[in-house]
Chains A and B, each alone.
Chain A
Amino acid sequence: MNFQLNGKQVELPEVVDSVEKLLTHYHLQSRIAVVEVNKEIVRKEEYETKKLSNGDVVEIIHFVGGG
């Protein structure tokens, strides 16, 4: 699987084909995060069912310190 993930091209095993599996791959399941695929926000309930395909643009977003 080839994605553009947070601005970087990444090549991941073929089994990483859903948002859920992508988060697990990076050990992010328990983190406070928001996922966007091709500029569309993926709701948490859809993590398992939201399939990823080659060429998808994925953003994993979180909250950082700011004023």
Chain B
Amino acid sequence: MLTIANRTFQSRLLLGTGKYPSFEIQKEAVTQSETEILTFAVRRMNIFEESQPNFLEQLDLNKYTLLPNTAGAKTAEEAVRIAKLAKASGLCDMIKVEVIGDQRTLLPDPVETLKASEMLLEEGFIVLPYTSDDVVLAKRLEDLGVHAVMPGASPIGSGKGIINPLNLSFIIEQSKVPVIVDAGIGSPKDVAYAMELGADGVLLNTAVSGAKDPIKMAQAVKYALEAGRLGYEAGRMEEKDYAVASSPTTGMVGS
């Protein structure tokens, strides 16, 4: 079970809703993933063109918790404006703080992320900042009172997986709030790795929506997440440099 603020979730997977090949595939992928938290972006409605189907409007909103993001914001003030718009829908009070500081790498701006998180906490939001894998920054965010920290595994949409497991494990070790590995996850292997490191959850989007078969991949990441979590709870064996025989070294045949 994953607990964020006062909410508990059976699934530790947070799923993004961008860039699926079709609504039908997306719906089935979401169902198969068994996620309970879906992320969305906040944008102008395209009112001057023929009405496009909207995924959110087709969802059973009793089954899912919405986690809107502040993507598009470059400053804390812009992030707060987006967060308030999202909350005004009356559908959510959780916000993924995403303040991008560099357009090529889409890495978060640490200063503005910290500032936005502080402002949003004052406004009473449940705050989940997307942050770099900086250990001290994660601590500073936690000290502010954020409800989870979400360090990136590697750049958004890159699918490069976990490039700094040591930093992630430091963040996980020090953190008293849930740590959700967000961004850069490319495959089930990365999901299992994050969970084995002790992450409380994983947020991914393109790993599923960009797979050749998103529905099958949604199942794969669900199983990887469960396997990784079980492995973490079980406690892995000690790693050694040289071989240690698994079979008895006495009573060899022919000796």
User: Chain A residues in contact with chain B, CB under 8 A?
Assistant: 5-8, 26-28, 31-34, 36, 39, 41, 43-44, 59-67
Contact = CB atoms under 8 A, between A and B. Distances in A.
B45 A33 contact: yes
A65 B45 contact: no
A20 B47 CA distance: 15
A64 B40 contact: yes
B85 A67 contact: no
Given A63-B66, A64-B40, A67-B39, A34 B71 contact: no
Interface of B: 16-20, 26, 39-45, 47-48, 51, 54-57, 66, 68-69, 71, 81, 84-86, 88-91, 156-157, 183, 203-206
Cβ-closest 7 pairs across A and B = A66-B41, A67-B16, A67-B205, A65-B18, A63-B40, A65-B17, A6-B44
A64 B85 contact: no
Contact of B44 (A26, A32, A39, A59): A59
A26 B51 CA distance: 10
Contacts of A65: 16-20, 26, 40-41, 55
Nearest to A60: B45
A43 B31 CA distance: 32
Given A31-B54, A61-B42, A61-B45, A66 B86 contact: no
Given A34-B89, A63-B66, A65-B20, A26 B47 contact: yes
Nearest to A27: B51
A66 B17 contact: yes
5 contacts: A33-B45, A61-B42, A62-B43, A65-B26, A66-B18
B51 A62 contact: no
B45 A66 contact: no
Nearest to B44: A6
A43 B88 CA distance: 7
A31 B53 CA distance: 11
A59 B47 CA distance: 10
A39 B203 CA distance: 31
A60 B54 CA distance: 15
A61 B85 contact: yes
A14 B66 CA distance: 38
Contacts of A36: 85
Nearest to B52: A64
Given A27-B51, A32-B54, A62-B54, A41 B40 contact: no
B88 A66 contact: no
Contacts of A5: 47
A13 B189 CA distance: 58
Given A41-B88, A62-B43, A66-B40, 7 more contacts: A6-B44, A32-B89, A32-B91, A63-B42, A65-B20, A65-B26, A67-B18
A67 B203 contact: yes
